[in-house]
Structure 1
Amino acid sequence: MDTMEKLRILSDAAKYDAACTSSGVNRAGVKGQLGSAAACGICHSFASDGRCISLLKVLMTNICAYDCTYCLNRRSNDTPRATFRPQELADLTISFYRRNYIEGLFLSSAVFGSPDITCERMLETLHILRNEYHFNGYIHVKAIPGADETLLQQLGLLADRMSVNIELPSNDSLKRLAPQKSKENILLPMSRIRDGIKENAHDLIRYKSAPRFVPGGQSTQMIIGATPENDRCILQLSEGLYHKYSLKRVFYSAYIPVVQDRNLPALDTAPPLLREHRLYQADWLLRFYGFTADELLSEKTPDLDPMLDPKCSWAVRHPEEFPVEVNRAPYEKLLRVPGIGVVSAKRIIRARRQAKLDHEGLKKLGVVLKRASYFITCNGKMQCRLRTDEPAVLAGILRDRGLPQGGIQPEIPEQLSLFNPTKEDAVKCLTGQL
């Protein structure tokens, strides 16, 4: 099998790994070395200057010793198999970089033989890239649960970011669908990477020339929709991972039915793309807006609202928190108002030191008034004349979005925060202004 045929098989096998994130690493070009790294974004993301930055996303091999029910690469599945040799993959990466196809590498792998054997092959690939080709670009590598701690340490010194897939939202689901994996084996490398990052931070303070260990931090990915866990369970897990393992990002991957099995959704089941999007929005609230999982969802309402984004849904359920006077409210209170994001809240704090703000001024500061107007006052006055009880506010929001007010719109795979979004809505969603 030639290199391009292997690439076709192994890049296709890697498509279910989420890698669209900012790298978190700024590294300038060095004379005599290839490439650089920028913190702004990777893998078909757009940088602040408009550039589209791309990665070679590929598996080392799709020959797997495990037989996870949900996975196309499982041992029992009849699928074309291929394996890159470390030198071959390193040559391919450099060749693509020199042709300006890519700016970095995202390397994952099935478990070939054993975790240690797989990790050794990935480590050899990174060693060739960094030390023989002097590749200075971005590298994201998937850590293999069960691999020796020394191998993970060496990988971390060569990679910019590492990730360990949590796979499924609960240990029960993991036992049912991936019996050869365990929660403990997955969390152990996470803790080792976390500890390595902390130790390296202390070393860098003492010795500025110390090698950097995973400077872009670590992330994880979980599959949603393959198992019965509700959104509250998923967000509580994410919240715990952020706090305990200092993760940069949790990725949510909507399960695409590719396997016929009694423990999985039927093949004709649509992927839960809208649910995935709502989870990403809620995750944003956990990381940047000061919300907790138990605030967003409860035992009575364990799943996110398909009609409203999580922040708006929370606001509608908590009328006692509103209206908020934008000329006096603290920053933390402003962040809870739908339509006011992190950027616009900071602008409000700065602007109101100079003059009192009105609704027109808020619009110029980037506030999405068609959401915020139901929840704020400017100098004691509301722009909206509707009653502020839950049915009235909900009806007004749905009307503004072009949705029927008497029922739930059929689920549509949306990647923005609104149905039928305007240009303004699209910009606010992409910049995280919920």
Structure 2
Amino acid sequence: HMAALPGGKRVPLLKSLLTSACERNCYYCPFRAGRDTRRVTFKPEELADLVVNLTHNRVIQGAFLSSGIAGGGLRTQDRLLDAADILRHKLQYQGYLHLKLMPGAQQAQIERAMMLADRVSVNLEAPNPNRLSLLAPQKQMMEELLQPLRTVEMIRRTQPAHKGWKGRWPSTTTQFVVGAVGESDLELLQTVAYLYRKLHLARSYFSGFFPISGTPFEEKQPVNPWREHRLYQASFLLRDYGFEMEEMPFTGGGDLPLDVDPKLAWARQNLSQAPVEINLADRHELLRVPGIGLRGAQSILNARVRGGRLRSLEDLKAIGVYPTRAAPYILLDGMRPPAQMSLF
């Protein structure tokens, strides 16, 4: 499994369940209780040994350990923590470790996980309790899923970071199942905005629904993969680009248009008649221009600090901006640039 680490680097991870047995009946899940499928269970020391062996053989550069729920969430969490503890302390494993927090995990368990892992996560699966009841009727959103994320943030806020693995607290993520129970993009992104703003999550993942045979949802249609893509783009606008929920270009039904990047849709509505002056705009204004990302905005600011004025699309291209995307929405020294770059 290729995964992006908190710094953005992509590495091969072992993504493994401690057990694929589960006593919950989530309607979309291949491991749901009652589904006729083979189950596999590791002992904590077996899973720890597997991680170390694959690491020594250079097959993986990290591990993401989760589990089906067997014997209750608390007992399952303890077994996951035992595997992590063996890895870190008995086997001296120094690599990247992502630990899943089980539904209803207690504060002492969460603290222990935060002392062992580089990242912890809880899958909310749905944007609100009503949608969750249609997706995973045995899960309680506030008490079992949101509360552990709130506890992580409380620990980060109130306890010294040197208690964490390598002297820093782990980052936090979540995941949503998209398109299984009629939820809108507006519902999903409202929850994502709350998670970024209040609980300081590093990232929200979106998993487009795909029907699994032998589950109650086996007859449902898979979600359009473009929907997942647009949700990621919008979530990055909320997290990194200073956009607010009110600025998202939702359709009447509360979904993002599939045929256009949400940043471009916003720019068409707001910048076509009010272009951004590249030589005067602040970072917040620059980040709203299509074709200008986080690095591009910083490069523009750095070029201006050095005393240079940016006068052409070629100047922008030289510092890492996508000039043809930006051209319709910018001014260079008060002038609209030509729509096409010169070929000569």
Please confirm whether the aligned pair reaches a TM-score higher than 0.5, indicating the same fold.
Answer: yes
Aligned CA distance change for structure 1 residues 305 and 118 (closer, same or farther; 3 Å)? same
Name 1:224's counterpart in structure 2. Answer: 178
Instruction: Write the deviation string for residues 172-211 of structure 1: whole angstroms up to 9, x where unpaired.
Output: 12112211101111111111111112223xx24xxx6x45
Which aligned runs of 4 or more in structure 1 are off by greater than 6 angstroms? none
Of residues 148, 152, 156, the one that matches 1:197 is 156
Query: Structure 1 residue 156 and structure 2 residue 110: aligned?
Result: no
Name 1:278's counterpart in structure 2. Answer: 230
Give the drift of 1:385.
6.1
Q: Is the 8 A contact 2:250 2:256 kept in 1?
A: no
Q: Any idea what SS the aligned residue of 2:65 has?
A: strand
- Normalised by the length of structure 2, the TM-score is 0.91
Amino acid at match of 1:22: L
Give the drift of 1:320.
6.5
Aligned counterparts of 1:156 and 1:380: Cα–Cα separation in 2 = 52
Aligned counterparts of 2:146 and 2:164: Cα–Cα separation in 1 = 25
Aligned CA distance change for structure 1 residues 230 and 132 (closer, same or farther; 3 Å)? same
Of residues 3, 17, 20, the one that matches 1:59 is 17
Name 1:142's counterpart in structure 2. Answer: 100
Q: Is the 8 A contact 1:197 1:214 kept in 2?
A: no
Give the drift of 1:271.
3.5
Of residues 127, 145, 152, the one that matches 1:186 is 145
Amino acid at match of 2:84: L
Q: Is the 8 A contact 1:63 1:112 kept in 2?
A: yes
Give the drift of 1:59.
0.3
Structure 1 residue ranges without an equivalent (≥5): 1-14, 24-38, 46-52, 387-434
Aligned counterparts of 1:293 and 1:265: Cα–Cα separation in 2 = 33
Give the drift of 1:331.
1.9
Query: Structure 1 residue 22 and structure 2 residue 5: aligned?
Result: yes
- Normalised by the length of structure 1, the TM-score is 0.73
Of residues 82, 86, 104, the one that matches 1:128 is 86
Query: Structure 1 residue 355 and structure 2 residue 299: aligned?
Result: no
Aligned CA distance change for structure 1 residues 321 and 266 (closer, same or farther; 3 Å)? farther
Name 2:219's counterpart in structure 1. Answer: 266
Aligned CA distance change for structure 1 residues 258 and 275 (closer, same or farther; 3 Å)? same
RMSD over aligned Cα, in angstroms?
2.1
Aligned residues, how many?
336
Instruction: Write the deviation string for residues 82-131 of structure 1: whole angstroms up to 9, x where unpaired.
Output: 10011111111111111111122100001011111101111111111111
Give the drift of 1:249.
0.7
Q: Is the 8 A contact 1:257 1:271 kept in 2?
A: no
Q: Any idea what SS the aligned residue of 1:20 has?
A: strand
Once the two structures are superposed, the pairs formed by residues 10-409 of structure 1 within 5 Å of their partners are 20-23=3-6, 39-41=7-9, 45=10, 53-184=11-142, 185-200=144-159, 203-204=160-161, 210-212=163-165, 215-259=169-213, 264=217, 266=219, 269-298=221-250, 300=252, 302-319=254-271, 322-353=274-305, 354-358=307-311, 359-384=313-338
Aligned counterparts of 2:77 and 2:316: Cα–Cα separation in 1 = 53
Aligned CA distance change for structure 1 residues 222 and 385 (closer, same or farther; 3 Å)? closer
Aligned counterparts of 2:146 and 2:300: Cα–Cα separation in 1 = 41
Give the drift of 1:305.
1.8
Instruction: Write the deviation string for residues 35-59 of structure 1: whole angstroms up to 9, x where unpaired.
Output: xxxx453xxx2xxxxxxx2111100
Name 1:427's counterpart in structure 2. Answer: none
Q: Any idea what SS the aligned residue of 1:374 has?
A: helix
Name 1:425's counterpart in structure 2. Answer: none
Q: Any idea what SS the aligned residue of 1:95 has?
A: helix
Q: Any idea what SS the aligned residue of 1:113 has?
A: coil
Aligned CA distance change for structure 1 residues 231 and 211 (closer, same or farther; 3 Å)? closer
Structure 2 residue ranges without an equivalent (≥5): none
Give the drift of 1:309.
0.6
Instruction: Write the deviation string for residues 119-153 of structure 1: whole angstroms up to 9, x where unpaired.
Output: 11111111111111111111101000113322222
Aligned counterparts of 2:239 and 2:54: Cα–Cα separation in 1 = 35
Amino acid at match of 1:224: V
Give the drift of 1:270.
3.8
Identity %: 36
Instruction: Write the deviation string for residues 210-256 of structure 1: whole angstroms up to 9, x where unpaired.
Output: 45487231111111111211111111110011112111111111111
Q: Any idea what SS the aligned residue of 2:4 has?
A: coil
